[in-house]
């Protein structure tokens, strides 16, 4: 429970010297609003992935490229709706670069999924002069690896997302042991995670999106007190 403040400091140092895109006269967004939105976005992406997985299992082998294009297009649409939501959020130091980093990941994913759409379309159209289909086949797993690397980055950002809810005022033992949200607000966040991800949170094998949700839930269940609980 004492690790997160150090992580926050490390993150803050890693972006020190960066110029904030926000002016000082703008009000900071509620951290609860930010965390709630982040959880919603994780759930939306996982729902699209799970739906695509079910679709692929029921489809013919000849539909692999059309299904891939459908999946990538849905991911793009969702990410394009998420980016403006996040860009409307302002966080003060040491978290001022967290939202831009997340939206940066999203923009990279949109570009990579566009490349997958382009490749899938090339195969659906059929043989065309001057197209190196062997090269395209090699490129596809490379793009998937890049997407996985980005999803790992989003997973690693999850503890920082939770850390935005930690009250930095020390208790009598000089520990940061409280959150800035009430017990009811914490319960609602846990309910959102459980309702969106269900049994996936307890699976041993998890993709990075589910793992990010699992990390958040685990921190909510740690020994942090809420803002409406007594200080020690």
DSSP assignments along 70-107, one per residue: HHHHHHHHHHHHHHHHHHT----TTSTTHHHHHHHHHH
The per-residue pLDDT string of the chain (232 residues; one tens digit each, 9 = 90 and over) reads: 334 444 443 444 343 333 333 334 479 999 999 999 999 999 999 999 999 999 988 888 889 999 999 999 999 999 999 999 999 999 999 999 999 999 999 999 999 999 999 999 999 988 888 899 999 999 999 999 999 999 999 999 999 999 999 999 988 888 889 999 999 999 999 999 999 999 999 999 999 999 999 999 999 999 899 999 988 7
Containing structural domain, residue 110: 3-8+30-220
Number of domains in the chain: 1
Say if residues 121 and 69 touch (Cβ distance below 8 Å): yes
DSSP helix/strand/coil, 9: helix
Q: Is residue 227 part of a domain?
A: no
Q: Is residue 181 part of a domain?
A: yes
User: What is the pLDDT at residue 59?
Assistant: 85
Q: Is residue 51 part of a domain?
A: yes
- Cα–chain center distance at 97: 15
Q: Is residue 22 part of a domain?
A: no
User: What is the pLDDT at residue 126?
Assistant: 84
CA distance 94 to 14: 10
Using a 10 angstrom Cβ sphere, with 0-12 exposed, 13-18 middle and 19 or more buried, the burial of residue 190 is middle
- In terms of pTM, does the model score above 0.85? yes
**Structure tokens belonging to residue 55:** 């679709």
The answer to whether the bond into 13 is cis (omega within 30° of 0) is no
User: What is the pLDDT at residue 188?
Assistant: 98
User: What is the pLDDT at residue 114?
Assistant: 98
The answer to whether the bond into 58 is cis (omega within 30° of 0) is no
Q: Is residue 23 part of a domain?
A: no
Q: Is residue 226 part of a domain?
A: no
CA distance 14 to 116: 32
User: What is the pLDDT at residue 22?
Assistant: 38
Q: Is residue 78 part of a domain?
A: yes
User: What is the pLDDT at residue 61?
Assistant: 82
Q: Is residue 213 part of a domain?
A: yes
């Amino acid at each position: 429970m004492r690790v997160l403040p150090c992580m926050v400091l490390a993150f803050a140092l890693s972006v020190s010297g960066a110029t904030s895109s926000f002016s000082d006269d703008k009000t900071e967004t509620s951290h609860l609003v930010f965390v709630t939105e982040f959880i919603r976005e994780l759930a939306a992406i996982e729902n699209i992935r799970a739906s695509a997985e079910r679709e692929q299992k029921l489809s013919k082998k000849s539909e692999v490229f059309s299904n891939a294009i459908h999946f990538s297009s849905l991911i793009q649409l969702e990410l394009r709706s998420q980016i403006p939501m996040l860009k409307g959020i302002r966080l003060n130091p040491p978290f001022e670069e967290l939202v831009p980093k997340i939206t940066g990941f999203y923009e990279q994913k949109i570009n990579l999924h566009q490349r997958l759409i382009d490749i899938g379309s090339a195969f659906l159209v059929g043989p065309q002069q001057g197209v190196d289909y062997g090269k395209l086949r090699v490129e596809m797993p490379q793009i998937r690896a890049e997407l996985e690397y980005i999803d790992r980055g989003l997973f690693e950002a999850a503890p920082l997302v939770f850390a935005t809810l930690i009250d930095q005022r020390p208790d009598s033992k000089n520990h940061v042991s409280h959150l800035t949200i009430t017990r009811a607000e914490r319960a609602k966040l846990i309910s959102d995670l459980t309702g969106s991800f269900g049994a996936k949170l307890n699976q041993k094998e998890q993709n990075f999106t589910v793992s990010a949700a699992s990390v958040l839930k685990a921190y909510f269940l740690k020994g942090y007190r809420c803002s409406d609980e007594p200080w020690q």
